[in-house]
Amino acid sequence: MTEAKITRDDLEAGIRQLQGGARQKVVDKKKAIATAAGIGAALLLVTVFMLGRRAGNKRTALVEIRRL
């Protein structure tokens, strides 16, 4: 039985292969997270806007001016 020595090049190739797969996963997840965060921010903005309009309507006095 002969033992094959593991060289530095073998280790580097293995690590680069692992990093390549991991980097691709990170890039894919980053796009999905950015999209979800953008949609969430837009929904939050619309919700706050609508609640502000409703509160404004409750507090605003309706004044009617009539001519004599």
Round to whole Å and give the CA distance between 34 and 32: 5
Considering just the CA atoms, what is the radius of gyration of the chain in Å?
31
What predicted TM-score, i.e. pTM, was given to this entire model?
A: 0.49
* pLDDT score, position 45: 96
CA angle 16, 6, 4 (to 5 degrees): 140
Q: What is the mean pLDDT of residues 3-17?
A: 87
* pLDDT score, position 60: 64
- The string of pLDDT tens digits covering residues 13-65 is 988 888 877 787 888 888 889 999 999 999 999 999 988 877 766 666 667 77
CA angle 33, 37, 41 (to 5 degrees): 175
- Residue bearing the bigger pLDDT, 9 or 67: 9
